[in-house]
Amino acid sequence: MGNSQGKLSSPDYPVNLNQFRLLRVVGKGAFGKVRIVERKDTGLTFALKYIRKDEVVRSESVRNIIRERRMLEHLNHPFLCNLRYSFQDMEYIYIVVDLMNGGDLRFHISRKCFTEEAIRFWMAELACALHYIHGQGIVHRDVKPDNILLDSEGHVHLADFNVASDFKPSKPLTSRSGTMAYLAPEVFQGGGYLSNVDWWSLGVTFYECIYSKRPFDGRSHNSLSEAIMRTQPKYYVTNPAVTVPCLHALSALLEKDPTKRIGAMNFESFTTHAFFAPIDFDALERKEIEPVFVPSSDKTNFDATYDLEELLLEEAPSGGMFSFFSRKKGRERSPKPSERGVLGKEGARVVISG
């Protein structure tokens, strides 16, 4: 079981890999993997992201890794995957974050359909996370189901700041960073962009949760970018039908003009929208509203392929020379045991026509 957020504190002792038991692999990134680890002294579990230094250097991504770590050190929010420790040895950089053992959103939406109520809850929590990081001068740039993790109680957490960037309103960003299908139209138009792109990506994720497909597609990068810039998404007839407020919210997030996009205009434009207005966002951010969907505690919420791959290829870090740097963030606390081990309300949504 993962750990709840702790109060910030300064590092008081060096941390290294020898202090953790390496458990199963639960994810894979461009430069390494993510696995569950357990502190030997406390028994608390975390997620360990280990990144191969040679791959980072080869791909000229050193600045990205350093930037991600620096950002995580300064962020702390109920709906983020918060940093707890970071250190390195001769082969790897290690980043230890809160464990979210409910799996990622991609895992869940690829296996079943969910009610509007459940999806609205996820989008609202993610909106709180985006509002927070934008207030810290950070744009995520890769909001998608793969980077949205569920904890054991069903709350969502935004993860993976690998392509995130600091931004200033006076100096728009111009690079095409992120995942192609989730990039906003203004990214392709070349005139620069700010944090408004994250609200578009949230809209693409929202659409994918509703329809189990993305709103735009193309056989090549060019055709996909043209579709994103020039075409309107299709809103399919489904059974049960998608409600009008939900359709309007989707359309308002997938607004090609960033000055008219909800969330991008201001946070109130999101919270007061008819679809999200029933939610008390202050209570939501305090985690006082019970999640609609709770991941099963009886079965794994991760793809077993990653663990098998690790066994076959023997890629696990072994630990070596440590303490090049070490950082502890947050006070450890034992998690509350989840009292809910069953699935929440679900509903099948079937596309009837398109």
Task: Please report which confidence band the pLDDT of residue 339 belongs to, taking 50, 70 and 90 as the band edges.
Answer: very low
Which among 89, 142, 160, 307 is annotated as catalytic? 142
What average pLDDT does this structure show over 232-250? 96
Nearest Cα to Cα of residue 302 among 50, 85, 101? 101
pLDDT above 70 (res 304): no
Least confident of 20-34, 212-226, 308-322: 308-322
* pLDDT the model gives residue 42: 94
Task: At 191, list the tokens.
Answer: 């005139």
pLDDT above 60 (res 7): no
- Pure H helices in 62-220: 62-74, 105-109, 116-135, 185-189, 196-211
Q: Is 53 annotated as a binding residue?
A: yes
CA distance linking residue 223 with residue 195, whole number of Å: 25
CA distance linking residue 302 with residue 99, whole number of Å: 12
Roughly how many angstroms between the first and final C-alpha of the chain, as a whole number? 42
What average pLDDT does this structure show over 293-299? 80
- Which H or E run contains 23? strand 20-28
pLDDT averaged over the chain? 84
Task: Please report which confidence band the pLDDT of residue 29 belongs to, taking 50, 70 and 90 as the band edges.
Answer: low
Nearest Cα to Cα of residue 296 among 342, 336, 340? 342
pLDDT above 60 (res 307): no
Is 142 among the residues known to form the active site?
yes
* pLDDT the model gives residue 62: 83
258 φ, ψ to 5°? -65, -20
Residue 314 backbone class (left: φ over 0; alpha: ψ -120 to 50; beta: rest): left
Share of the chain above pLDDT 70, in %: 79
Q: What is the DSSP string of 297-308?
A: SSS--S-THHHH
* pLDDT the model gives residue 324: 37
Q: Which residue has tokens 């055709």?
A: 223
| Paired residues of 237 in beta bridges | 353
> Is 155 in a helix, a strand, or coil?
coil
- Which H or E run contains 32? strand 32-39
> Is 20 in a helix, a strand, or coil?
strand
pLDDT above 50 (res 209): yes
- Give domain limits for the chain: 17-101+299-328, 105-285
Maximum Cα interatomic distance, the chain, rounded to a whole number of Å: 60
Class of domain 105-285: mainly alpha
* pLDDT the model gives residue 235: 96
Residues in the chain: 354
pLDDT above 50 (res 312): no
* pLDDT the model gives residue 340: 30
Asked whether this chain's domains 17-101+299-328 and 105-285 adopt the same fold, the reply is no
CATH among 3.20.20.10, 3.30.200.20, 3.30.450.150, 3.40.30.10 for 17-101+299-328: 3.30.200.20
CA distance linking residue 68 with residue 138, whole number of Å: 11
CA distance linking residue 305 with residue 236, whole number of Å: 33
pLDDT above 50 (res 338): no
Least confident of 47-56, 58-67, 93-102: 58-67
